[in-house]
Amino acid sequence: MTAVLPDLTVTEAEVRAALGTVVDPELDEPITDVGFVRSVSVEGSAVEGCAVEVHLRLPTSFCAPNFAWLMVSDAHDAVSAVPGVRSVVVELDDHHDSDLINRGMAAGLGYRGTFGHEAEESLDELRATFQRKAHTAAMERAITALLRTDPAVDVAALTLGDLPAGEHTTDALLRRRATLGLPVDDSAPVLVHDDGTRPDPRQAELVLRRARSVRISVDGNAHFCRGLLTTRYPGSEADQAPRPEDRPLLPLTVSEGTAR
Amino acid sequence: MYSKDGEQYYVVDSHIALWDARPENQRNIHGKQFIDCFYDYHRNLSPESELWGYEEYLYQGGERLMRDVFVDDIVDHAIFQPARLAEFYHRGFGQTEEALALAQAHPDKLTYNHYWDPRDGENGLDALRANAERMHLKGAKLYTADWHGESRGWKLTDPMAYRYFEACRELGIKNIHIHKGPTIRPLDRDAFDVADVDHAATDFTDLNFIVEHCGLPRLEDFCWIATQEPNVYAGLAVAMPFIHTRPRYFAQIMGELLYWLGEDRILFSSDYALWTPKWLVERFVDFQIPEDLTEYAPITTAQKKKVLGLNAAKLYDLPVPAHLQLPDADETATGPRQPAAADLTSV
């Protein structure tokens, strides 16, 4: 019996595309955009399956190891799902927990098996916390964009249908609402608490101000982490994509000229 | 004292260190990783003219510290906030005896705060009592992300930490500076979580909790806690140099802090030797929130004077000349401070 084998040669581009689905939870950006992917290598053939090795890098040795673990394990899952991949090694370089994390990944020990007494249950709640923050920031961007064009807008009464369709800020908000399972229909309120409920109109200003502090924090951290990565790894700016257009509202002046 | 355009500013650098990160003091790879991380911060956020070489960054010594911090007589007083990092450095990172001797030689210019760690248990409590007497402590520096044997972090709400807070209260150590690094335990939750500050500040209302680098990278969580707790302060360590590379981000940090905490609870610092105070003071006095950031009111000269020194002077009972003192703002003790400055008053 003969069988026609589908072409399962894995390309580096396919691996990078898979890595593009992995998000830094804190910065709410794909690891491929912020330059955290240091290298990708693919070996082997369609017949025996391909072996992929990925190296990740972070802005400092002391970035929080729980976020590091999430990105490394998400990267492993994403690359493993690429058709034709037989084996995957994802390693984290130059981190204070590199040895621990890389050993744990290689042995398939999982989060608790890797971190032992430091890990309690799982990182699910941590991930959920930052998905909520990502939504809050997107909500603030969408509302503030509207306020910039029409300062008289009634923020408390806004519904999704009032947001300009097709705008980056609107689409970004809808995506993050979907992640949280919040309604995305036109009649749904824009300004909401984390659980999707509408605040009392008298609290609307406070809720928006608080959302603004979340957005400033996320955006500021993203800029700082991007900058630190390029200081730590000269040339890595070539691996960074500009911050997406759905986040245009923090026009940070960045003066270059410090040591590279 | 700093003078500009007819205005005089009493300046307190509320966070400086005398560290030793030279290779002979590094216990392991983490000692190198730690100082390299600091050096990258320094390189990433400094103006070209303020950039140091790697070798000189590892250790400065007392003489150079005095020159760097007090150059041109801009800074009136500076406060040591040492980090122990005993797992990374043989003799620790902050050089206790050298810094203490310097503070004792220049009592008008320097205050020495010391660290404590609840994981030192009863022995640590005894040491705290002895140190309070020997070092005349008015403040303590806590680093919740410090490693200690099997443990890689602690929380202000740990039962033993409360025993230390009680001792601080009894010993007159009223200023608790908290450096929230990436605390690894519990790993399940956000490593930069500042919620424990909320609990400690509520339970020890007679202590002042100064959260260094204003909670960054969790500015939002910090602001939300601090707005509700009148004894929580924002330290500007690490936030200050953004004034150069990312001035609009710095404007937003200042805008948020003034909105949520008010002008009486923000403290300037250079975080020496991460950066030096002179250029930061000069830039801050010249700084203004960009006009197009209409959600924030402009920063006033009086607010700058408070941030640069008067607020810290109050916490440490430093003798500020009478003509430079300013009254507290007529602001609410909790809740947002400048609602009228927001661009959303119509909401």
Inter-residue contact B198 to B230 (CB < 8 Å): no
Q: Which residues pair with B26 in a beta bridge?
A: B89
The backbone region for A110, taken as left when phi is positive above 0, alpha when psi lies in -120 to 50, beta otherwise, is left
* Same domain, residue pair A89 and A137: no
* Same domain, residue pair A65 and A105: yes
**Structure-model confidence comparison of residues B2 and A254, the more confident one:** B2
The answer to whether residue A245 sits within a structural domain is no
Percent helix, strand, coil in chain B, to 5, is: 45, 15, 40
**Range of weakest confidence among A45-49, A147-151, B224-228, B244-248:** A45-49
Residue tagged 């950031």 (tokens): B293
Q: Does A123 touch chain B (CB under 8 A)?
A: yes
Of the partner residues A61, A118, A252, the one whose CB lies closest to the CB of residue B187:
A118
- Which of A:80-119 have CB within 8 Å of B? 96, 115, 117-119
Q: Residue B165 has which token pair?
A: 């807070």
First to last CA, chain A: 61
Domain termination residue (choose one: A80, A104, A122):
A122
Taking an 8 Å cut-off on Cβ atoms, the answer to whether B224 and A210 are in contact is yes
Residue numbers in A near B295 (CB within 8 A):
212
pLDDT at A2 over 60: no
User: Is the ipTM, as predicted for this complex, more than 0.90?
Assistant: yes
Number of domains in chain A: 2
Which of B30, B151, B219, B344 would you mutate first to test chain A, the one with the most A CBs within 10 A? B344
The residue of chain B with its CA nearest to that of A213 is B220
Q: Residue B187 has which token pair?
A: 């790993």
Residue A199: which H helix or E strand, with range?
A: none
* Same domain, residue pair A118 and A219: no
Query: Cβ neighbours of residue B338 under 8 Å, at least 6 residues apart?
Result: B258, B259, B262, B297
Residue numbers in B near A253 (CB within 8 A):
246-248
The answer to whether residue A92 sits within a structural domain is yes
- In angstroms, what separates the C-alpha of A163 from chain B's closest C-alpha? 17
Taking an 8 Å cut-off on Cβ atoms, the answer to whether A126 and B347 are in contact is no
Residue B2 backbone phi and psi in degrees, to 5: -110, 135
First to last CA, chain B: 43
Taking an 8 Å cut-off on Cβ atoms, the answer to whether B187 and A208 are in contact is no
* Same domain, residue pair A190 and A218: yes
* Same domain, residue pair A171 and A118: no
Q: Does A205 touch chain B (CB under 8 A)?
A: yes
Q: CB atoms < 10 A from the CB of B328, how many?
A: 12
Residue B153 backbone phi and psi in degrees, to 5: 150, 160
* Same domain, residue pair A146 and A206: yes
Q: Dihedral of CA B187/B193/B199/B200: which sign?
A: positive
* Same domain, residue pair A89 and A164: no
Q: Does A155 touch chain B (CB under 8 A)?
A: yes
Inter-residue contact A30 to A237 (CB < 8 Å): no
For residue B151, give the DSSP letter: B
Q: Single out the residue of A50, A56, A194, A53 nearest to residue A130, CA to CA.
A: A194
Q: Single out the residue of B79, B293, B124 nearest to residue A250, CA to CA.
A: B293
Residue numbers in A near B182 (CB within 8 A):
62-65
Predicted pLDDT at B335: 86
- Which of A:170-199 have CB within 8 Å of B? none
* Same domain, residue pair A232 and A135: yes
Q: Single out the residue of B82, B87, B109, B86 nearest to residue B98, CA to CA.
A: B82
Taking an 8 Å cut-off on Cβ atoms, the answer to whether A64 and B150 are in contact is no
Taking an 8 Å cut-off on Cβ atoms, the answer to whether A213 and B223 are in contact is yes
**Average pLDDT value over all residues in chain A:** 91
Residue numbers in B near A250 (CB within 8 A):
248-249, 252
Q: CB atoms < 10 A from the CB of A16, how many?
A: 14
Q: How far apart are CA A10 and CA A85, in angstroms?
A: 7
Could you report the average pLDDT of every consecutive run of 10 residues in chain B (347 residues)?
98 98 98 97 97 98 98 98 97 98 98 98 98 98 95 95 98 96 83 94 98 94 96 96 94 96 97 98 97 90 98 98 94 78 46
pLDDT at A139 over 80: yes
Taking an 8 Å cut-off on Cβ atoms, the answer to whether B33 and A61 are in contact is yes
The backbone region for A96, taken as left when phi is positive above 0, alpha when psi lies in -120 to 50, beta otherwise, is alpha
Q: Does A234 touch chain B (CB under 8 A)?
A: no
Q: Angle at the Cα of B197 (from B196 to B201), degrees rounded to 5? A: 120
Residue B270 backbone phi and psi in degrees, to 5: -95, -20
Domain termination residue (choose one: A88, A122, A156):
A122
Predicted pLDDT at A48: 83
Of the partner residues A60, A214, A258, the one whose CB lies closest to the CB of residue B46:
A258
Return the exposure string of B166-193: e unless at least 16 CB atoms fall within 10 Å of the residue's CB, then b: ebbeebebbbbbbbbbbbbbbbbbbbbb
Q: How far apart are CA B106 and CA B103, in angstroms?
A: 5
Domain termination residue (choose one: A69, A99, A122):
A122
Residue ranges in chain A assigned as alpha helix (H): 12-19, 65-80, 98-106, 110-115, 124-149, 168-180, 204-232
Q: CB atoms < 10 A from the CB of A238, how many?
A: 7
Predicted pLDDT at B347: 37
The backbone region for A235, taken as left when phi is positive above 0, alpha when psi lies in -120 to 50, beta otherwise, is left
Q: Which pLDDT band holds residue A258 (cuts at 50, 70, 90)? A: very low
* Same domain, residue pair A173 and A153: yes
Which three-class secondary structure state does DSSP give residue A55? Answer: strand
Predicted pLDDT at B269: 98
Of the partner residues B37, B46, B192, the one whose CB lies closest to the CB of residue A60:
B37
HSE on the CB side for B205, CA within 13 Å?
4
Taking an 8 Å cut-off on Cβ atoms, the answer to whether A227 and B245 are in contact is yes
Q: Dihedral of CA A166/A167/A170/A172: which sign?
A: positive
* Same domain, residue pair A94 and A138: no
Q: What is the mean pLDDT of residues A62-87?
A: 96
Q: Which residues constitute the domain of residue A106?
A: 12-122
Q: How far apart are CA B147 and CA B131, in angstroms?
A: 21
3-state secondary structure B280-332: HHHHHHHCCCCCCCCCCCCCCHHHHHHHHHHHHHHHCCCCCCHHHCCCCCCCC
pLDDT, tens only, A169-197: 999 999 999 999 999 999 999 999 999 99
Residue tagged 């230390």 (tokens): B164
Residue numbers in B near A223 (CB within 8 A):
246, 249
* Same domain, residue pair A211 and A130: yes
- In angstroms, what separates the C-alpha of A237 from chain B's closest C-alpha? 13
The answer to whether residue A100 sits within a structural domain is yes
Residue numbers in A near B186 (CB within 8 A):
118, 120
Q: Which pLDDT band holds residue A250 (cuts at 50, 70, 90)? A: low
Inter-residue contact B242 to A254 (CB < 8 Å): no
Chain-centre distance for alpha carbon B91: 23
Q: How far apart are CA A78 and CA B281, in angstroms?
A: 48
Q: How far apart are CA A241 and CA A257, in angstroms?
A: 20
Decide the pairing of beta strands B2-4 and A23-24.
unpaired
